């Protein structure tokens, strides 16, 4: 009996062999990964992005080992190696108070060079885009989706109010302010301000190299990177890091929301460096860090509002041929370090479910995606406020006795997850549950179905 190698976690199907035509809306990290994963599983992809070029806004993001486990299967590992050559070389996260006293060193387990990575968003998006082009995926920029439609046999979108595209399904990867979500929900979900915001910036380190008062942060330039987190009461915290072995400087200042922040990377006008510096002017460490922060270009700084969102009632449209994934479905606070990773897990899941369900069962495939992913992403989504609350007012005496109190949780059920393997193994069970109308409990959630502060992931 011949075994179809494409029906395996690392398997690659013949291009366009499934007969399934997919429209991917939005080319952020989740959208680009979805386009690539769907192509790898034999689907014909049309990928749409309203911007005229690939977007490179933002600073750095962490991809845990659960995300790179997907990327390592591309081009025999070559794409992951290329990404790692562009990633930051951080092996330790330092936790300090506002005077600069070191209380804890957290290894980068799950994000370290051996499996995960911390990488500039622009570098990641550009590399994924180049790989998608190499695969000859149909990518269309300047294609704003102005409408959606579906019936029992097809689904599609309207581009720029004119062109009508027809496909078997539409996958909305268009982020927090998703247009595709309008085709899924009858009303926009409520966003609850967290009361917090974060100044964020990333820039080239050249000017810092030439400043004798600032270049201390580049002491290991060309060797490794560093990430230091200075924390005070009231949720005020400064994360200061180098990237790409000292080529970049990245910093974030978590603070109370003064209503000047927003959720758009593209909005820089209201972000003023002096406002950020004023918040930490009373810190004993101020005179040491301010020479670095003053090198921030105006155009590199944004003040990003942190908003809590509850899990959506569904990700799937009424007729079952439109689905939202990634930040469009389950945005998480950045402190969780799983926004990009969960979008990548979604992408792999939807591509495999379409492959296994086949062209005549598109609705079942998308239902399977939701059943496999919904509980996991909801639990991870709920962890943001809990993690943030744990570091909002650090008890330094307690932390000195138990440094794990200030460390980012690294649960095995998140970082040790192998999404392709799980989807191939679980799909028959999910399919049966859908067809029988019975319940299904996924295997990718923690015991009890609740988030807990765990550090049980081992590389």
200 catalytic per annotation: yes
Report the pLDDT averaged over residues 230-246. Answer: 94
Q: Is residue 17 predicted with pLDDT exceeding 70? A: yes
- pLDDT, tens digit (0-9, with 9 covering 90-100), for 183-217: 999 888 888 888 899 999 999 999 999 999 999 99
- Whole-angstrom distance, CA of residue 21 vs CA of residue 42: 10
**Cα gap 87→102, rounded to integer Å:** 25
Share the mean pLDDT of the chain.
Answer: 93
Q: How far is CA 374 from CA 178, 315, 381, 413, 422, in A?
A: 18, 9, 10, 15, 14
Pairing verdict, β 322-324 and 169-172 = parallel
Please report which helix (H) or strand (E) contains residue 357, including its range. Answer: helix 339-357
15-19, 115-119, 188-192, 227-231: the lowest-pLDDT one: 188-192
> Quick one: pLDDT at residue 259?
67
Q: Give the active site residue among 55, 181, 200, 371.
A: 200
pLDDT for 245-290, tens place per residue? Answer: 999 999 999 999 876 655 554 555 579 999 999 999 999 999 999 9
How does DSSP assign 115-183, residue by residue? S-EEEEHHHHHHHHHHHHHHTT-EEEES--EEEEEE-SS-EEEEETTTEEEEESEEEE---TT-SGGGG
d(CA 459, CA 449): 24
Mean pLDDT, rounded, for 398-420: 94
The rounded distance, in Å, linking the Cα atoms of 304 and 334 is 10
Positive or negative CA dihedral for 365, 379, 382, 237?
A: negative
Report all structural domains of the chain as residue ranges with CATH numbers, in order of start: 21-90+116-189+310-436 (3.50.50.60), 194-308 (no CATH)
**Residues at the annotated binding site for FAD?**
49, 62, 121, 327, 340
What pLDDT is attached to residue 266? 52
Pairwise pLDDT comparison (445 vs 408), residue with the higher score = 445
Are the C-beta atoms of 377 and 447 separated by less than 8 Å?
no
Confidence check: pLDDT of 49 > 60: yes
Identify the active-site residue in 131, 230, 374, 417.
Answer: 230
Question: What tokens does 396 get?
Answer: 């330094």
At residue 38, φ and ψ (nearest 5 deg) are -65, -40
Predicted local confidence at residue 12, as pLDDT: 96
Residues that constitute the known binding site: 49, 62, 121, 327, 340
Among left, alpha and beta (phi > 0; psi -120 to 50; other), residue 10 is: alpha
């Amino acid at each position: 009996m011949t075994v179809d190698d494409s029906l395996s976690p690392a398997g690659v199907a013949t291009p366009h062999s499934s007969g399934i035509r997919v429209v991917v809306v939005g080319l952020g990290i989740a959208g680009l990964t979805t386009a690539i994963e769907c192509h790898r599983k034999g689907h014909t992809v049309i990928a749409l992005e309203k911007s005229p070029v690939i977007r490179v806004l933002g600073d750095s993001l962490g991809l845990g080992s659960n995300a790179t486990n997907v990327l390592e299967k591309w081009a025999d590992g070559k794409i992951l190696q290329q990404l790692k050559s562009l990633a930051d070389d951080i092996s330790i996260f330092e936790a300090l108070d506002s005077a600069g006293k070191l209380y804890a060193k957290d290894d980068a387990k799950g994000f370290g060079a051996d499996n995960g990575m911390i990488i500039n968003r622009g570098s990641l998006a550009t590399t994924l885009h180049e790989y998608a082009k190499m695969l000859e995926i149909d990518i269309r920029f300047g294609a704003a989706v102005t409408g959606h439609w579906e019936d029992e046999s097809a689904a599609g979108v309207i581009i720029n109010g004119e062109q009508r595209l027809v496909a078997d399904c539409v996958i909305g990867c268009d982020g927090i302010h998703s247009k595709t979500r309008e085709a899924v929900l009858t009303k926009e979900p409520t966003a609850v301000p967290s009361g917090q915001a974060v100044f964020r910036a990333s820039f080239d380190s050249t000017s810092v190299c030439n400043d004798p008062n600032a270049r201390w942060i580049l002491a290991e330039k060309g060797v490794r990177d560093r990430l230091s987190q200075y924390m005070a009461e009231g949720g005020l915290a400064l994360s200061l890091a180098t990237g790409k072995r000292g080529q970049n400087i990245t910093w974030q200042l978590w603070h109370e929301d003064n209503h000047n922040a927003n959720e758009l990377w593209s909005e820089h006008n209201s972000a003023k460096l002096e406002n950020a510096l004023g918040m930490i002017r009373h810190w004993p460490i101020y005179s040491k860090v301010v020479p670095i922060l003053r090198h921030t270009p105006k155009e590199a700084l944004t003040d990003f509002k942190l908003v809590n969102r509850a899990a959506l009632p569904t990700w799937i449209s009424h007729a079952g041929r439109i689905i939202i994934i990634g930040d469009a479905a389950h945005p998480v606070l950045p402190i969780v370090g799983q926004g990009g990773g969960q979008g990548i897990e979604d992408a792999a899941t939807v591509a495999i479910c379409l492959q296994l369900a086949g062209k005549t069962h598109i609705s079942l495939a998308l239902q399977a995606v939701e059943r496999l992913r919904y509980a996991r992403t909801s639990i991870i989504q709920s962890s943001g406020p809990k993690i943030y609350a744990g570091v909002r007012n650090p008890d330094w005496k307690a932390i000195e006795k138990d440094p794990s109190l200030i460390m980012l949780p690294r649960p095995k059920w998140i970082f040790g997850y192998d999404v392709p393997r799980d989807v191939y193994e679980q799909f028959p069970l999910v399919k049966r549950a859908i067809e029988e109308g019975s319940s299904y409990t996924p295997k990718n959630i923690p015991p009890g179905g609740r988030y807990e502060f765990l550090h049980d992931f081992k590389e």
